[in-house]
Amino acid sequence: MAAPFVYRRRVQFAETDLAGIVHFSNFYKFMEEAEHAFLRSKGLGIKEDQPDGTVLGWPRVRGTCSFEQPAYYEDELDIEVRIDRLGVKSLTLSFTILRDGIRIAVGELKTVCCRFGAAGKFESVEIPPHWLDKLQESEPA
Protein backbone atom coordinates (compact mmCIF):
# COMPACT_ATOMS: atom_id res chain seq x y z
CA MET A 1 0.00 0.00 0.00
CA ALA A 2 1.28 3.44 -0.90
CA ALA A 3 2.22 5.85 1.85
CA PRO A 4 -0.61 8.26 2.63
CA PHE A 5 -0.51 11.92 1.69
CA VAL A 6 -0.27 13.90 4.95
CA TYR A 7 -1.71 17.38 5.45
CA ARG A 8 -0.84 19.23 8.66
CA ARG A 9 -2.94 22.02 10.16
CA ARG A 10 -3.34 23.82 13.48
CA VAL A 11 -6.76 24.12 15.12
CA GLN A 12 -7.94 27.73 15.17
CA PHE A 13 -9.91 29.28 18.05
CA ALA A 14 -12.91 29.99 15.80
CA GLU A 15 -13.21 26.23 15.18
CA THR A 16 -13.84 25.48 18.86
CA ASP A 17 -16.51 25.94 21.47
CA LEU A 18 -16.01 27.89 24.70
CA ALA A 19 -14.20 24.90 26.23
CA GLY A 20 -11.69 24.97 23.39
CA ILE A 21 -12.97 21.70 21.88
CA VAL A 22 -13.32 21.48 18.09
CA HIS A 23 -16.95 21.45 16.95
CA PHE A 24 -17.68 18.17 15.15
CA SER A 25 -18.65 19.89 11.88
CA ASN A 26 -15.11 21.23 11.49
CA PHE A 27 -13.75 17.71 11.01
CA TYR A 28 -15.51 17.71 7.62
CA LYS A 29 -13.82 21.02 6.83
CA PHE A 30 -10.45 19.53 7.81
CA MET A 31 -11.04 16.56 5.51
CA GLU A 32 -11.97 18.87 2.64
CA GLU A 33 -8.82 20.97 3.19
CA ALA A 34 -6.74 17.79 3.12
CA GLU A 35 -8.54 16.62 -0.03
CA HIS A 36 -7.71 19.88 -1.80
CA ALA A 37 -4.07 19.72 -0.68
CA PHE A 38 -3.86 16.11 -1.88
CA LEU A 39 -5.21 17.06 -5.30
CA ARG A 40 -2.80 20.02 -5.55
CA SER A 41 0.07 17.64 -4.75
CA LYS A 42 -0.95 15.70 -7.87
CA GLY A 43 -1.19 18.84 -10.02
CA LEU A 44 -5.00 18.70 -9.94
CA GLY A 45 -7.74 20.94 -8.56
CA ILE A 46 -11.24 20.53 -7.22
CA LYS A 47 -12.54 22.21 -10.38
CA GLU A 48 -11.15 22.39 -13.87
CA ASP A 49 -12.30 24.67 -16.69
CA GLN A 50 -12.84 22.77 -19.94
CA PRO A 51 -12.15 24.06 -23.48
CA ASP A 52 -15.86 23.85 -24.35
CA GLY A 53 -16.78 26.30 -21.55
CA THR A 54 -18.00 23.67 -19.11
CA VAL A 55 -16.39 22.98 -15.74
CA LEU A 56 -15.27 19.62 -14.40
CA GLY A 57 -16.04 19.30 -10.69
CA TRP A 58 -16.41 16.80 -7.89
CA PRO A 59 -19.62 17.11 -5.87
CA ARG A 60 -19.83 14.95 -2.78
CA VAL A 61 -22.33 12.11 -2.68
CA ARG A 62 -21.35 10.77 0.73
CA GLY A 63 -19.37 11.94 3.73
CA THR A 64 -18.77 10.18 7.03
CA CYS A 65 -16.68 10.85 10.10
CA SER A 66 -16.29 8.83 13.28
CA PHE A 67 -14.98 10.77 16.26
CA GLU A 68 -12.77 8.90 18.71
CA GLN A 69 -11.23 11.72 20.77
CA PRO A 70 -11.71 15.48 20.91
CA ALA A 71 -9.35 17.94 19.25
CA TYR A 72 -8.54 21.20 21.01
CA TYR A 73 -7.54 24.77 20.23
CA GLU A 74 -3.90 24.94 19.09
CA ASP A 75 -3.63 21.19 18.44
CA GLU A 76 -1.53 20.32 15.40
CA LEU A 77 -3.39 17.70 13.42
CA ASP A 78 -2.00 15.40 10.76
CA ILE A 79 -4.62 14.32 8.27
CA GLU A 80 -3.69 11.26 6.26
CA VAL A 81 -5.38 10.92 2.88
CA ARG A 82 -5.65 7.66 0.96
CA ILE A 83 -7.55 6.66 -2.15
CA ASP A 84 -9.98 3.95 -1.09
CA ARG A 85 -11.60 3.50 -4.47
CA LEU A 86 -11.04 4.94 -7.91
CA GLY A 87 -14.06 4.06 -10.02
CA VAL A 88 -15.10 4.91 -13.55
CA LYS A 89 -16.89 8.09 -12.43
CA SER A 90 -16.24 8.28 -8.68
CA LEU A 91 -13.40 8.78 -6.25
CA THR A 92 -13.55 7.72 -2.59
CA LEU A 93 -10.93 9.10 -0.22
CA SER A 94 -10.35 7.97 3.34
CA PHE A 95 -8.98 10.21 6.08
CA THR A 96 -7.25 9.45 9.35
CA ILE A 97 -6.93 12.44 11.65
CA LEU A 98 -4.10 12.22 14.18
CA ARG A 99 -2.85 14.33 17.07
CA ASP A 100 0.70 13.47 18.16
CA GLY A 101 0.40 10.18 16.30
CA ILE A 102 -2.83 9.20 18.10
CA ARG A 103 -5.88 8.60 15.92
CA ILE A 104 -8.71 10.91 16.94
CA ALA A 105 -11.07 10.53 13.97
CA VAL A 106 -11.55 8.65 10.71
CA GLY A 107 -13.65 9.70 7.76
CA GLU A 108 -14.49 9.20 4.15
CA LEU A 109 -15.61 11.39 1.25
CA LYS A 110 -17.08 9.96 -1.93
CA THR A 111 -17.16 12.32 -4.89
CA VAL A 112 -18.41 11.94 -8.45
CA CYS A 113 -16.77 13.48 -11.50
CA CYS A 114 -19.29 15.83 -13.10
CA ARG A 115 -19.41 18.28 -15.98
CA PHE A 116 -21.20 21.52 -15.11
CA GLY A 117 -22.72 23.47 -17.98
CA ALA A 118 -24.84 26.55 -18.42
CA ALA A 119 -27.79 27.25 -16.12
CA GLY A 120 -26.33 25.07 -13.37
CA LYS A 121 -27.05 21.79 -15.13
CA PHE A 122 -24.58 18.99 -14.59
CA GLU A 123 -24.05 15.34 -15.44
CA SER A 124 -21.74 12.64 -14.18
CA VAL A 125 -18.92 11.76 -16.57
CA GLU A 126 -16.07 9.30 -16.69
CA ILE A 127 -12.93 10.44 -14.91
CA PRO A 128 -10.63 11.91 -17.60
CA PRO A 129 -7.47 9.92 -18.46
CA HIS A 130 -5.11 12.66 -17.22
CA TRP A 131 -6.82 12.52 -13.81
CA LEU A 132 -6.59 8.73 -13.71
CA ASP A 133 -2.88 8.86 -14.55
CA LYS A 134 -2.15 11.31 -11.75
CA LEU A 135 -4.39 9.63 -9.18
CA GLN A 136 -2.90 6.22 -9.87
CA GLU A 137 0.65 7.37 -9.11
CA SER A 138 1.87 5.27 -6.20
CA GLU A 139 3.37 8.06 -4.12
CA PRO A 140 2.24 11.64 -3.46
CA ALA A 141 4.14 14.23 -5.53
Q: In 3-state terms, what secondary structure has residue 40?
A: helix
Nearest residue to 141 via CA among 65, 39, 12, 11: 39
Range of the domain at 107: 5-135
Domain assignment of residue 140, yes or no: no
* DSSP letter for each residue of 60-79: EEEEEEEE-S--BTT-EEEE
Question: How many domains is the chain built from?
Answer: 1
Domain assignment of residue 64, yes or no: yes
State mean pLDDT over 70-96.
97
Q: Of the segments 5-9, 52-56, 133-137, which one has the largest average pLDDT value?
A: 5-9
Residue 79 pLDDT > 70, yes or no? yes
Domain assignment of residue 141, yes or no: no
DSSP state of 88: S
Residue 118 pLDDT > 80, yes or no? no
Backbone angles phi, psi at 37, to 5 degrees: -65, -40
CATH value at residue 70: 3.10.129.10
Domain assignment of residue 39, yes or no: yes
Domain assignment of residue 91, yes or no: yes
Domain assignment of residue 69, yes or no: yes
Q: Which residues have C-beta within 8 Å of that of residue 105, sequence separation ≥ 6? A: 27, 65, 66, 67, 68, 69, 71, 95, 96, 97
Entry pTM: 0.92
State mean pLDDT over 111-132.
92
